[in-house]
Structure 1
Amino acid sequence: MHIRWINTKPNGSVVYVSFGSLAEVGLEQMVEISSGLKGTNAYFLWVVREPKEPKLPDNFKHMTREKVLEALGLGVPMVAMPQWADQATNAKHVEDV
């Protein structure tokens, strides 16, 4: 299903967002990221683990349901924002490979 969904979207129109399993994203960051995603014309895959969902703005899922696939990542354009540990190495690898 994930591949079918992404294959129906124009090339370069899907953004993948994930902070990994250990990164702690604050409420203000979640609000800013969701506002940015909602304000674009891009489709997106955003991995938000269940315990973090309360940080999403009210009605965010409803307001973006046409643009989002709640799924784990695929090979799509990414913006890397490493915060600690091996994330800088992973971001560099994503950029290079």
Structure 2
Amino acid sequence: MDGQWPVKNIGPVVPSKFLDNRLPEDKDYELGDSKTEPDESILRWLENKPAKSVVYVAFGTLVALSDKQMKETAMAIKQTGYNFLWSVRDSERSKLPSGFVEEAVEKDTGLVAKWVPQLDVLAHDSIGCFVTHCGWNSTLEALCLGVPLVGMPQWTDQPTNAKFIEDVWKIGVRVKTDEEGFVSKEEIARCVVEVMEGEKGKVMRKNVENLKVLAREAISEGGSSDKSIDEFVAMMT
């Protein structure tokens, strides 16, 4: 950006606790639900799962999938056989297949929660991949915490972010839709399996781990973001 416009690049803007930990008290964004204390029951459930074995699913606070797409996604997650954690708002819960939540709880293979402490979850060793709408915050958090992605973008910047995830950074895969924008359970399951255990998935995991290191270096003392802030302050004083 320096070569195109006189700007100072800072970031990634993710709480310090999840990057360099220079400010351990900086653990959330202090906005809305981020002030909520982590749900210890969710984190305890994750503690009982093997490393890289859980598929985390979340579509943000605004995206509302159709009833048909919600059910198809649920069937896909069930079809893969992986453990899963799914953040589902109360307004969306009725779109899940009948008995889906109860069966997952009974078999201890899945957990559906109305709110999930996303940073704490993405930082957890048990998480193997993140099925996401590719909102910028979610994308950046996954990148900074080394979690590969399955992208299901819906609108605005999300398709662009998904393009970067799959084709530029190569840290995930984007689902293919039909002519009406619908994604089949077979396609979702294919993408999840590819990220979790496919050969391409191994490359994605390596790439995202490399970006995780670069993100921490950027905001650490002497890093590019750290220097940009110092230079900006010096300019203003």
How many angstroms does 1:87 deviate by? 2.7
User: What is the identity, as a one-letter code, of the residue corresponding to 1:18?
Assistant: A
Higher radius of gyration, 1 or 2: 2
Give the Cα–Cα distance (whole angstroms) in 2 for the partners of residues 69 and 31 of structure 1: 16
Cα distance in 2 for partners of 1:60, 1:37 equals 11
Cα displacement (A) at 1:90: 5.3
CA deviation vs aligned residue, 1:43-66 (integer Å, no higher than 9, x gap)? 111111001111111111111111
Amino acid at match of 1:37: I
Q: Deviations over 1:2-26 (max 9, x none)?
A: 3332232122210011111111201
**Structure 1 stretches of 5 or more lacking a match?**
none
* Structure 2 counterpart of 1:9, one-letter code: K
SS across alignment from 1:83: coil
Which residue identity lines up with residue 86 of structure 1 in the other structure? D
1:63 partner SS = helix
Aligned to 1:81: 152
* Alignment partner of 2:109 out of 67, 85, 93: 67
Mind listing any 5+ residue stretches in structure 2 that lack a counterpart?
A: 1-39, 131-149, 172-207, 212-237
Does structure 1 conserve the Cα–Cα contact (< 8 Å) formed by 2:67 and 2:95?
Answer: yes
Shift of 1:39: 2.0
Compare relative contact order (CA 8 Å, sep 6+) and give the higher one, 1 or 2.
1
Shift of 1:67: 1.3
User: Which structure carries more helix by proportion?
Assistant: 2
Instruction: Provide the residue aligned with 2:91 in structure 1.
Output: 51
For the residues of structure 1 that align with 2:64 and 2:72, how far apart are their CA atoms?
A: 15
Cα distance in 1 for partners of 2:100, 2:89 equals 15
- Residue type of the alignment partner of 1:29: Q
State the distance in 2 between where 1:8 and 1:88 align.
35
Question: For residues 8 and 87 of structure 1, do their structure 2 counterparts lie closer, same or farther at Cα, with a shift above 3 Å needed?
Answer: same
Three-state SS of the structure 2 residue aligned to 1:17 is strand
The one-letter code sitting in structure 2 at the alignment partner of 1:62 is: E
> Which of these residues, 20, 28, 49, is aligned with residue 9 of structure 1?
49
Give the whole-Å Cα distance in 2 for the aligned partners of 1:37 and 1:67.
11
Q: Which amino acid aligns with 2:151?
A: A
Aligned AA (2:110) = V
Identity in percent: 40
- The answer for the alignment partner of 2:72 in structure 1 is 32
